[in-house]
Structure 1
């Protein structure tokens, strides 16, 4: 099912207006299947197979229907016109060049060599200009063979033969740079934890690229070279040097004068994440706005960057700004194009903002129409996630129960949270969540008495302060726990005399 949802996402995210996808007649099973995916009715194979055939996903007719729909969607993607404002000039060239290369190969296979060669020569000039080395290499090889076999033109053969050899050197350098980058990046995929033990390897790989390919200047080589350097510093959380490498990369791609906004965006985003880790709101906001200006409004990266900017606002107590971002994004006409799992994230942010409004931390006339009773009784898309956003949801549900002063339900939820903590949050990666949940348990056990909670929960709070807020886990820790704990004590605690704020 994830493959079909992904294909639908590609189509909707590549068109400016919401289109009605048609793969069959209105009452056709194929069309019903597609519309169920688009509407979110079908999020997995069990839902789709039961609705369409009243059986399980292994039913042969269901599997055949699924394959037919996939082939139909492949055809729809090949028909996409990428010449719209959702794509930069370099992206338009990238997509159209790949389509035209396929056309050249089809024409040659069908013996339409006059059309094929004319298109190949025209496309080669464009692909060389935009540093599309893999396409250029294939085209130069085709043209070399043509002028040798069909034309017997020695001069043109030698010209394209030289082109093939020089492009081959560039392509091999690109492949090596990509390999080196992935040798390091795979470790970030496995775990978000820092890996200082890998720094010597990363330094060696960076130096090897510098030494072996010092004369290679293609955009793909430089992309992976700079990303490798960024990863080298991310391994040891050296965010100042991450920012320095990103600035160097942005200057390089800007100076190519090829409108490579998508590549510049990658490094602006790395810079933004570095400022998020450093909790530098002003510089983070500045670089985020620079990154946003590089991409068309409403594309997936536009939403993703705004989501990260909202997290930065939460993590630096800029709650009013977080509300502004939320309103801007949730009211955007392309918001409905997002995957349901992404819009669920925004529901969680909405719940935290709603809580901040209710306790008067955010003073606004804005009415966030959160259906709180429904929210308190559901965990939408994350039931299989044993840590992740489940933690953020469970915590914000308790926050809203505190607002409602439903002490019995608060006790029940915190008890359930204690069991959840015991089962799923026992390793070091979840230490901060574990400490915060234990503070909530103490708060409940001590009848919300601030002084007693401070005394009996001291060890958990000290552990919390000893561990830094990790921006890579900001989907779990929406508001840093120190700030959130302070809000809870000052808004709901039964205060004794002389109680001080725990966070300055």
Structure 2
């Protein structure tokens, strides 16, 4: 009881005069609750509108009061961060354990500053235990250092020396982890940058991976494993080594199931996502589709990660010629209210996919609607913010005009594709795109005659089929594999013969 008594005395003597949070479960009878209610409606209100809704009129005095109210509400909402529920199984698995460490560390240090060394020790030791179990080295260092301070203050040399040895061990590991993080972060930033930056860094990645391997052998911690693993994944993906990517993700999943990786840290969602990327790019859409159908359960449908996962789920369906299933996925995504929160670029991705699905799902429908979004039809031949998708957009424009039998406009798109190829589709990484564009140009050369185009394009098609998918470092996206898309284009022309 003495521990609770001391805690009660500290809390009652040091508590704030005003409640530092908002009671969100009560009826909105206060200005603070009313403002939160207005914010949660999702309606964008100006300060004048907000003042009028809260105070009845938007006078100068009420606008000043609103400014003060917003400041108080923000401070109290920030205080609610101490009480968030992190038990959602669909969130990042490490989050709940990381936040538990932070919570214990905060309470332990707060009690120490108030002079309660007994309960402070207990909480800090719990924090240390949790940090070691989750391999959160930074929190282990902080809790061990604070315990050393307490033991020194209490004149407990044996306890101090034991904790100091642990602290030195954790500091050594943290130093290695910091160096691994520096290598990983600087590499990731370069790989996420311009094509030039990627080309410069890619040859250096093997040496960086060797350095990370050395650091991991010395530290033998989850953090050093994670930095090394994620950079290796990124490297193989960018180079197009999809067989190796499948091996890496599969090996990690097996290690996890065998208890060789920290279950409090290993992100199964990330590993599942990279596995389906590997299956997609490695031309095994059937296996990837099976994994995607079970893997989606690990993602909350309200998160942006759910939509990203569904993008690859959809691409797997399209690459596996499951066009009806692709339609079902598009409908599922469209019905998700969380889609309203997506960035405009992400919404355009889904628009682009929808254009392709419309083309392949209803090739025989008379008077079919345009199979391209309006923004896609109006784009120039090269849009920098659509990097990696320019060929897909230009091809979609071409498909749209082929469906409409508007061959004059189709010729314009073919010319745009030719110019884009000359300027941007260079090197071995763009070989598949160049071969596909050669097939498309054969349409014009044969007067859009499908039989003649098929015969003329057969050698090119064979070359295309034997050319592997490039890595993601420089590649254009193939929403539908070029081989499949060529057959669909010919089918479209067969179903809608050129008018004489």
User: What's the TM-score, normalizing by structure 1?
Assistant: 0.69
In the alignment, what sits opposite 2:23? none
In structure 2, C-alpha distance between the alignment counterparts of 1:441 and 1:391, rounded to whole Å: 14
Using the alignment, how far apart are the partners of 2:384 and 2:272 within structure 1?
33
2:211 maps to which residue?
205
| Paired position in structure 2 for 1:449 | 449
Q: Distance in 1 between matches of 2:233 and 2:480?
A: 27
| Distance in 1 separating the partners of 2:151 and 2:357 | 67
Aligned to 2:480: 479
On the 8 A contact 2:371/2:399 being kept in 1, the answer is no
Deviation at 1:183, TM superposition (A): 7.1
Cα shift readout 1:345-381 (whole Å, capped 9, x = no counterpart): 11111111111122159xxxxxx9988674564459x
- Aligned 1:415-454 pairs, distance under 5 A: 415-419=415-419, 421=420, 424-428=423-427, 429-450=429-450, 452-453=452-453
Per the alignment, do residues 318 and 262 of structure 1 end up closer, same or farther by CA in structure 2, a change over 3 Å counting? Answer: farther
> Which runs of 5 or more structure 1 residues have no equivalent in the other structure?
1-21, 38-67, 362-367, 497-504
Q: Distance in 2 between the 1:405 and 1:464 partners?
A: 27
Taking a change above 3 Å as real, the CA distance of residues 89 and 315 of structure 1, as seen in their structure-2 partners, is closer
After TM superposition, the structure 1 stretch with the greater mean CA deviation from structure 2, 175-184 or 297-306, is 175-184
Between the two proteins, the alignment pairs up a number of residues equal to 435
Q: Distance in 2 between matches of 1:279 and 1:411?
A: 31
Q: 2:349 aligns with which of 345, 367, 373?
A: 345
Q: 2:158 matched to 1:162?
A: no
Matching residue of 1:356: 360
Q: 1:99 to 1:398 in 2, by over 3 A?
A: farther
CA drift of 1:279 comes to 0.9
Secondary structure of the residue that 2:361 maps to in structure 1?
Answer: helix
Distance 1:444 1:265, change over 3 A: same
How far residue 267 of structure 1 moved from its aligned partner, in angstroms, is 2.8
Per the alignment, residue 15 of structure 1 pairs with: none
Taking the aligned partners of 1:475 and 1:196, their CA distance within structure 2 comes to 18
Cα displacement (A) at 1:231: 5.7
Are the counterparts in 1 of residues 215 and 224 from structure 2 also a CA contact under 8 Å? no
Distance 1:73 1:324, change over 3 A: farther
Structure 2, unmatched stretches of 5+, are 1-30, 46-70
1:323 equivalenced with 2:327 (yes/no):
yes
Q: Distance in 1 between matches of 2:233 and 2:377?
A: 43
**What's the offset of the Cα at 1:148?**
0.9
Cα deviation, 1:313-338, whole Å, max 9, x if unaligned, reads 22232323322332333323433333
Alignment of 1:201-240 (within 5 A): 201=207, 204-205=210-211, 208-209=214-215, 212-213=217-218, 216-227=219-230, 230=233, 237-240=240-243
Answer whether contact 2:111 2:117 (CA < 8 A) is retained: yes
Root-mean-square deviation (CA), in Å?
4.7
Q: State the Cα distance separating 1:153 from its structure 2 match.
A: 1.9
- Structure with max Cα Rg: 2
Instruction: Tell me the residue number matched to 2:271.
Output: 267
